[in-house]
Structure 1
Amino acid sequence: MITSEQKLYTRAYQLSLFTIVYNIFEGVVSMFFGYHDGTLALFGFGIDSFIEVMSGIGIAVMIVRIRRNAGNVKSKFETTALRITGVSFYLLSAGLLAGIISDLVTRHKPQTTIWGIIISSVSILTMIWLTYAKKSIGKKLHSEPIIADANCTRICVYMSVVLLASSLIYALTRFAYADLLGVAGLIYFSVSEGKEAFEKIEGKECSCGKCRNEHPA
């Protein structure tokens, strides 16, 4: 007989799978229109979505591990996924910084940021829902790792807000550096997520900058 706890873990796993699929779709669309319209912020947002896919796969494996035995240590796959995620976020940050310099030198301007407005608006609504859905399940299960994952989903909301703001500013004012300001915001959050991935490898459960030891002495 399936218990209430098993149903909650199944729901948590389903949410992690949804996160993976959604980010793949978001990444493809964002990179396509980011490249087509010449907006670095949207293109970088798309790359971030694919990094989130790797992070999401690691979370899915974590949920399976916790479901089977909450006392188990992180699997080798989880640790590898976190390390790849952390490095990828740092590489993304470096690439976006190079992009800012290049656009400043060439005085490049996006053709339009309308797709940035549309994609970021959808992302904000989706990620807010995911944040609260994950947190609700985490609290019911008294699972700090799942609650931490829910809190970190909020970072995706912040990144979407940054993209929306920069896209709106450019669309309304044609301010030349609006897109680059959005990229700067993405760099800040990418560095934060990269740092957190490595903190998790060290045996800590993080809530977007606030970490605690997973196994206190």
Structure 2
Amino acid sequence: MARTVTSSPTTTRTQEVRLGIWIELVSIGWMIVEASVALSVGIATHSVSLQGFGFDSIIELISGSILLWRLVVERRGSSLETIEQAERRAAWVTAIGLFLLSVYIVVDGLVSLFTHTQAQASWWGVGLAIAAAIIMPVLWQGKLRVAKRIGSVALKADAACSVTCAYMSITLLIGLLLNRFLGWWWADPLAGLVLVYFLVQEGREALHEARTGESCSCGDDDCCE
């Protein structure tokens, strides 16, 4: 099984790992906020896209916590073998969760479209989508910089998924605004169905890691075949 973090016990590497830990802590904190707001508002307003966005945040929270644990172990100078095995098992859970979530959103979205179920407009949802579209690219840049400097493929993949989350937030925002200002009730479930594309890409990446022990960037067709 390929190791996803190279070993180089230098002062610079130690500092970069410490920076990576802080970035992951911020990312996890934001995922908690994102999931809490998206799910509570999504359920209250019957928004398919917000609920899907919230459940995806929970899954990213779990995978981010595993990566944080991995960085902390390296920071302490411990062996990474056990953590790599745990990360691989967690990848199976993440992949299954993402695929099940995709099925849920497809079914819920189609039911909403056929029954003309209209989601209530919510400025909380709009605000969350705007905040995510701003925050996630910043986290992506930080994660990618650290990943390149310490040679962490797993952190690089996590950075790519942060970009995916930013794309998802923009899709979410468009759907919410169309529903809010133009009254296009179908825009919300349609946006939820569009999110499935991103969820499936993340699921394929997690499945690839679970099978091979190697990570690839979200949406990278070459390494996720």
Q: TM-score, normalised by structure 2?
A: 0.85
Aligned to 2:218: 208
Q: Deviations over 1:57-105 (max 9, x none)?
A: 2222333455547984863321121111111101110111110122123
Which protein, 1 or 2, shows the higher relative CO under an 8 Å CA cutoff with sep ≥ 6? Answer: 2
Aligned to 1:4: 12
Structure 2 contact 102–199 (Cα < 8 Å) conserved = yes
Question: Could you say what secondary structure the match of 1:205 adopts?
Answer: coil
2:192 to 183, 201, 212: 183
**Equivalent-residue separation in structure 1 for 2:84 and 2:147 (angstroms):** 20
Q: Does 2:210 correspond to 1:198?
A: no
Q: CA RMSD in A?
A: 2.2
1:149 to 137, 158, 166: 158
Q: Deviations over 1:148-203 (max 9, x none)?
A: 32122111111111101111111121112100111011111111111110101212
Aligned to 1:135: 144
User: Which ranges in structure 1 are unaligned for 5 or more consecutive residues?
Assistant: none
Q: Does 2:167 correspond to 1:158?
A: yes
Aligned to 1:107: 116
Q: Does 2:73 correspond to 1:31?
A: no
Any runs of at least 4 consecutive aligned residues in structure 1 with deviations exceeding 6 A, and if so which?
none
Aligned to 2:105: 96
Q: Aligned residues, how many?
A: 212
Q: In the superposition, relative to structure 1, how do residues 81 and 75 fare at CA in structure 2: closer, same or farther (>3 Å)?
A: same
Aligned to 2:71: 63
**After alignment, is 79-88 or 97-106 more displaced?**
97-106
User: Which ranges in structure 2 are unaligned for 5 or more consecutive residues?
Assistant: 1-9
Q: Does 2:58 correspond to 1:50?
A: yes
**Equivalent-residue separation in structure 2 for 1:199 and 1:42 (angstroms):** 27
1:123 to 115, 127, 132: 132
Identity of aligned residues (%): 29
**Equivalent-residue separation in structure 2 for 1:137 and 1:18 (angstroms):** 14
Q: In the superposition, relative to structure 1, how do residues 70 and 125 fare at CA in structure 2: closer, same or farther (>3 Å)?
A: farther
Q: TM-score, normalised by structure 1?
A: 0.88
Letter in 2 for 1:102: V
Q: In the superposition, relative to structure 1, how do residues 179 and 212 fare at CA in structure 2: closer, same or farther (>3 Å)?
A: closer
**Equivalent-residue separation in structure 2 for 1:198 and 1:56 (angstroms):** 16
Q: Does 2:91 correspond to 1:75?
A: no
**Equivalent-residue separation in structure 2 for 1:58 and 1:172 (angstroms):** 40
**Equivalent-residue separation in structure 1 for 2:80 and 2:62 (angstroms):** 24
